[in-house]
Amino acid sequence: MIINIFIAFILDLFIGDPPLSVHPVRLIGRLLDFLEDWLYPVSRKFVGGLLLVVVALFIVLGVTAGLWYVMFLFTLPLGINVVMVGLLFFLFCNRDMVREAKKVYLFLEQGKVEQARVQVGRIVGRDTEGLGRVEIVRAAVESVSENIVDGFTAPLFYLTLGGVPLAYAYKTANTVDSRIGYRNERYEQFGKAGARLDDALNFIPARLNAFFLFCATGFRREVLHTMLHDGGKHPSPNSGIAEAGFAGYLGIALGGPSRYGGTVREKPWIGENRIDGEELEDPRLILRAVALYWRVVAVTLIAFLAALSLLRLPLLFAFRG
């Protein structure tokens, strides 16, 4: 599996997420749309949303388990498995995240604030109309910081625990949360099961990511202090930890009041501004966040590949014995 993970990572690094109609995550999205259209009219409460989650997980686990069973027929020399590489490749989305964030930087650097607002709206869930330069920079940095867990650490964690089927089960839960896990009139009850499951599945990966982030910053004390002091302030039990780490590293405050669906949500501030004035409007803060993103990704990849290597040792000794 190690060589296949590495190849999938390199493919994502150079190719990014292809806009294919048969993309596994897009297929999961279509499945969720179908289940929502079927179940929401029947029950708009918690039970309906719970049934959606259970049915979606059952289908995805069944399909990926079947692929897991037959994929070993396509193993090449050195243990390279074409099917596994393809499935792993679609799990990662590092290059696209970085590319979208860099576009925000470029628009701000060129003084195109309106285009920057539209662009940052592609990677955040809040309303972006009327955001100033400081708010745009903050929104982009928050999105970069949060994406590592969803887009890399958690998939690798569940891949290590249970192979491709469990990794795609996580991806399904994460997609459910991104589609219906909102606190609004339609999804307050219907989306609660998906949101709670996503929180539970991200609990350990988010804390592993905090350790990797601390390592990637060179064990900076202000990063650890901010994660410990402010990581629990976020409404999500997981997202605030990564935001706090990035805030401590960059010397800025993240969070604060944000507008969702026309309604202002008062979120607590995470971190503190150790820089002032025009520096807070500097789009190069996004580039610094992206650079840290790649360092955390590198540490995460090395850690999980090392863990998988250690897990293989008992099997190798048993086989030789």
pLDDT at position 96 over 90: yes
Is there a domain that residue 64 lies in? Answer: no
Q: Using pLDDT thresholds of 50, 70 and 90, give the confidence band for residue 315.
A: very low
**Residue-averaged pLDDT of the chain:** 89
Tokens coding 224: 């650890």
Return the pLDDT at 316: 42
Q: What is the DSSP letter of 153?
A: I
Dihedral angle of Cα 63, 66, 68, 73, to the nearest 10 degrees: -140
Give pTM, 2 decimals: 0.90
Is there a domain that residue 85 lies in? Answer: no
Dihedral angle of Cα 68, 71, 76, 81, to the nearest 10 degrees: -50
| Cα–Cα dist 235/262, whole Å | 19
Return the pLDDT at 107: 96
Return the pLDDT at 181: 83
Instruction: Give 228-263 pLDDT, tens digit per residue.
Output: 999 999 888 898 999 999 999 999 999 988 888 778
Is there a domain that residue 246 lies in? Answer: yes
pLDDT at position 282 over 80: yes
Q: How many domains does the chain have?
A: 1
Instruction: Give 54-79 pLDDT, tens digit per residue.
Output: 999 999 999 998 887 777 776 666 66
Is there a domain that residue 8 lies in? Answer: no
Rounded (to 5) percent helix, strand, coil in the chain: 70, 5, 25
Residue 258: in which H helix or E strand, if any? strand 258-260
- Which has the higher per-residue pLDDT, 20 or 208? 208
pLDDT at position 309 over 90: no
| Cα–Cα dist 199/207, whole Å | 12
Is there a domain that residue 13 lies in? Answer: no
Residue 282: in which H helix or E strand, if any? none
Is there a domain that residue 277 lies in? Answer: yes
Is there a domain that residue 49 lies in? Answer: no
DSSP-derived secondary structure for 160-221:
HHHHHHHHHHHHHHHHHHHHH---STTTTTTTHHHHHHHHHHHHHHHHHHHHHHHHHTTS-H
Is there a domain that residue 210 lies in? Answer: yes
Domain that holds residue 156: 93-316
